[in-house]
Amino acid sequence: MDNEAYMNSVTIAPNGQFISLTVAGNTSRFHAIWLRDNALDKHTRSAGNGQRLIALRDIDASTHVSHAQLHKGCLQITFMPEGKTVDYPIDWLMTHAYDKPGNSVKGWHKPTQTLWDSSLMPNLPENNFDAVAASPEALQAWLSGIAVFGFAKLNNGPVQAGALAQVVGLFGHLRETNYGRIFEVRVEEKPVNLAYTGLALQAHTDNPYRDPVPTIQVLYCLESSAPGGDNVLVDGFMAATKLRQEDPHSFDVLSRYCARFEYAGEDDICLQSKRPIIELAADGQLQSIRFNNRSAAPFSDIPFEHMADYYGAYRRLGEIINDPASEVGFRLNPGDCFVIDNTRVLHARKAFSGAGTRWLQGCYADMDGLLSRLEVLNRTHSNTSTV
Ligand code: NM2
Ligand code: OGA
Ligand code: ZN
Q: Give the pLDDT confidence of 65-88 residue by residue, as tens digits.
A: 999 999 999 999 999 999 999 999
Mean pLDDT of 248-270: 98
Report which protein residue has its CA nearest ligand 2's atom 2. 195
Mean pLDDT of 265-270: 96
Nearest ligand atom owner, CA of 178: 1
Chain centroid to CA 222: how far?
Answer: 28
- From 201, 217, 353, the mutation candidate for ligand 2 (largest count of ligand atoms within 8 A of CB) is 201
Report which protein residue has its CA nearest ligand 2's atom 5. 195
State the distance from the centre of ligand 2 to the C-alpha of 349, rounded, in angstroms: 6
State the distance from the centre of ligand 1 to the C-alpha of 206, rounded, in angstroms: 6
Task: Place 6 in a pLDDT band, splitting at 50, 70 and 90.
Answer: low
The pLDDT assigned to 4 comes to 47
Q: Please state whether the peptide bond connecting residue 248 to the residue before it is cis, i.e. omega within 30 degrees of 0.
A: no
Instruction: Indicate whether residue 206 lines ligand 1 (CB < 6 A).
Output: yes
DSSP-assigned states of every residue in 6-67:
G--EEEE-TTSSEEEEEETTEEEEEEHHHHHHT--STTTB-TTT--B-S-GGGS-TT-EEEE
Mean pLDDT of 189-209: 97
Report which protein residue has its CA nearest ligand 1's atom 6. 206
With a cut of 50, say whether residue 322 has pLDDT above it: yes
Instruction: Indicate whether residue 207 lines ligand 1 (CB < 6 A).
Output: yes
Query: pTM, whole model, 2 decimals?
Result: 0.95
State the distance from the centre of ligand 1 to the C-alpha of 209, rounded, in angstroms: 10
Cβ neighbours of 269 (radius 10 Å): 13
State the distance from the centre of ligand 1 to the C-alpha of 353, rounded, in angstroms: 20
Instruction: Indicate whether residue 295 lines ligand 1 (CB < 6 A).
Output: yes
Mean pLDDT of 235-248: 98
State the distance from the centre of ligand 3 to the C-alpha of 342, rounded, in angstroms: 9
Contact 232, 364 (CB under 8 A): no
State the distance from the centre of ligand 1 to the C-alpha of 360, rounded, in angstroms: 12
Across the chain, mean pLDDT equals 96
- Ligand 2 binding residues, C-beta < 6 A: 185, 195, 201, 206, 219, 231, 347, 349, 360, 362
Mean pLDDT of 270-288: 98
Report which protein residue has its CA nearest ligand 2's atom 8. 349
Which residue from 186, 105, 167 is spatially nearest to 339, judged by alpha carbons?
A: 167
Report which protein residue has its CA nearest ligand 2's atom 3. 349
With a cut of 90, say whether residue 110 has pLDDT above it: yes
DSSP state of 226: S
State the distance from the centre of ligand 3 to the C-alpha of 9, rounded, in angstroms: 55
Percentage with pLDDT > 90 across the chain: 95
Nearest ligand atom owner, CA of 206: 1
Question: Which atom of ligand 1 has the smallest separation from the CA of 206?
Answer: 3
Q: Please, which residues have CB within 8 angstroms of residue 180's CB and are 6 or more apart in sequence? A: none
Backbone angles phi, psi at 385, to 5 degrees: -90, 140
The pLDDT assigned to 104 comes to 84
State the distance from the centre of ligand 2 to the C-alpha of 49, rounded, in angstroms: 41
With a cut of 60, say whether residue 17 has pLDDT above it: yes
The pLDDT assigned to 5 comes to 57
Mean pLDDT of 259-268: 97
- Return residues with CB closer than 5 A to ligand 3 (ion): 206
State the distance from the centre of ligand 2 to the C-alpha of 15, rounded, in angstroms: 61
Report which protein residue has its CA nearest ligand 1's atom 2. 195
* Conformation bin of residue 215: beta by default, left when phi > 0, alpha when psi is -120 to 50: alpha
Instruction: Indicate whether residue 183 lines ligand 1 (CB < 6 A).
Output: yes
From CA 244, how far away is CA 143, in angstroms rounded?
29
